[in-house]
Amino acid sequence: MKKVLEVRNLKTHFFTDKGVVKAVDGVNFDLYEGKTLGIVGESGCGKSITSMSILKLIDKNGNIVDGSIMYGDKDIVKLPVEEMRKIRGNEISMIFQEPMTSLNPVFRIGDQIIESIKLHQDLSKQEAHDKAVNMLKLVGIPRAERVVYDYPHQLSGGMRQRAMIAMALACDPKVLIADEPTTALDVTIQAQILSLMNDLKEKTNTAIMLITHDLGVVAQMADDVIVMYSGKVVESAEVKELYGNPKHPYTQGLLDSIPDLKSEKKRLNSIEGVVPNPMELPKGCYFAPRCKFAMDKCWQEEPGVYFIDKEKNGETHQVKCFLYEDK
Ligand SMILES: Nc1ncnc2c1ncn2[C@@H]1O[C@H](COP(=O)(O)OP(=O)(O)OP(=O)(O)O)[C@@H](O)[C@H]1O
Ligand SMILES: [Mg+2]
């Protein structure tokens, strides 16, 4: 397994009138060729800012204040803007929830894909055009030969999403970052897009980072999962292990809150309480105020990271919780 990205102790903070928001605060993970890493957690826990940090697209009032993002032998954190521009949208490309943020409304779909192809690959105009049509076909757009001349607003939401994915994949990215890529789509199209992403991962060996609050999607798509809470990773494991043997009380709560189709009692078990205000984080474990297992210590100290069942999992299953402190 080849490692494509190695994120260590990543800290991205925002500086506001009211104080510092530690949106991402000491995050670690690895991304491997041909594998999908799922990132889950409630709204505001830092999923998008983690991905934006990798792309170095952080709002002006924020900054990566510590850590490293190794991409081969380059540290993205230290990379000059110019070099980052070459990598972004090429070797590392992205899909967002709202396709109109990456599609330009005033240019034809085909021209946008062609531009993305030609920017990074040495192809003639005709070759690039043919490749654009092929990409549109690959993402399941009917009559791609005609759609290539359409403007974004002429397509339905689902087709626009596909066009954006075609654009994101046209340059054969090594890393694809997908932030809630299907949330806005209806379930049928969602399923098609996800299976398409799976196909492409297998065909092109792309490493995928998939951000979603939908634990069902993660179960279906991811090889590995990290669970975030208030800017920190609280648990990480291979997908089967995480769903079969969740350890952190927060992960257990998230999994319990998946609506059970068989019972009528939807979401009855969802975790009580809300995520803490980032300006007023509790001392100790940030989850303690919502945790039914919280001990005295949890209110005082930040928990370390402990390994679960090392004999079976090696160091792949990690949890940031005093319940699993090595005794
Ligand atoms: N420009 C900014 N200035 C101040 N705080 C910000 C800024 N951008 C993001 N944040 C804060 O950073 C934190 C993490 O935000 P992020 O968008 O990563 O959450 P998320 O996990 O992606 O949530 P969601 O599931 O709703 O998309 C939030 O508290 C958010 O308010
Ligand atoms: Mg987000």
DSSP element (H, E) containing 132:
helix 125-138
Domain total of the chain? 2
- What is the pLDDT, as a whole number, of residue 268? 47
277 part of a folded domain: yes
Cβ of 164: how many Cβ atoms within 10 Å?
Answer: 25
Pairing of strands 175-179, 207-211: parallel
Q: Give the whole-angstrom CA distance, residue 185 versus residue 145.
A: 24
**Nearest alpha carbon, ligand 1 atom 19:** 44
Q: For residue 185, tell me if it sits in a domain.
A: no
User: How do residues 121-136 score in pLDDT, each as one tens digit?
Assistant: 788 999 999 999 998 9
Residue of the nearest CA to atom 27 in ligand 1? 43
Residue 256 pLDDT greater than 50, yes or no: yes
Greater confidence, 215 or 260? 215
Q: Residues lining ligand 1, judged by CB closer than 6 Å?
A: 14, 16, 21, 23, 41, 43-49, 59, 61-62, 213, 278
Q: Tell me how far apart the alpha carbons of residues 222 and 324 are, in angstroms, rounded to a whole number.
A: 25
172, 189, 210 - which closes a domain:
172
Which pLDDT band, with edges at 50, 70 and 90, does 169 fall under? confident
In a domain, 313, yes or no: yes
pLDDT digits (tens, 9 = 90+) for 236-248: 999 999 999 999 9
Q: How many A from CA of 94 to the centre of ligand 1?
A: 18
Q: How distant is the alpha carbon of residue 317 from its chain centre?
A: 19
Instruction: With respect to residue 141, please indicate whether it lies within any of the assigned structural domains.
Output: yes
Residue 24 has which token pair? 């991402």
Q: Does the structure show a pLDDT above 70 at 234?
A: yes
Distance 96 CA to ligand 2 centre (A): 9
Lowest mean pLDDT among 78-82, 148-152, 213-217, 248-252: 213-217
For the chain, give the mean pLDDT: 90
At 307 the pLDDT is 96
Q: Judge whether 85 lies within some domain.
A: no
- The answer, yes or no, to whether residue 316 has pLDDT greater than 70, is yes
Segment (H or E) for 37: strand 36-40
Residue 199 — very low, low, confident or very high, per pLDDT cuts 50/70/90? confident
Range of the domain at 286: 251-324
Q: What are the strands of the beta sheet with 3-16, ordered from one edge?
A: 19-32, 3-16, 62-71, 74-75
**Eight-state DSSP code of residue 124:** -
| Assigned domain for 202 exists | no
Ligand 1 atom with least separation from CA of 180? 27
Asked which of 172, 191, 208 is the last residue of a domain, the reply is 172
Q: Summarize the confidence of residues 151-170 as an average pLDDT.
A: 87
Closest-lying ligand to the alpha carbon of 52? Answer: 1
Where residue 186 falls among pLDDT bands split at 50, 70, 90? confident
Residue 53 is given by DSSP the state H
Question: Among 27, 39, 45, 274, which is best to mutate for testing ligand 1, by the most ligand atoms less than 8 A from CB?
Answer: 45
Domain boundary among 121, 145, 172: 172
DSSP conformation letters of 61-83: TEEEEEEEEEETTEEGGG--HHH
> How many Å lie between the centroid of ligand 1 and the Cα of residue 47?
8
Q: What is the pLDDT of residue 263?
A: 53
Report residue 317 as tokens. Answer: 């299953």
* 170 Cα: distance to centroid of ligand 1 (angstroms): 29
Residue 118 lies in a domain: yes
Q: What are phi and psi of 74, to 5 degrees?
A: -100, 140
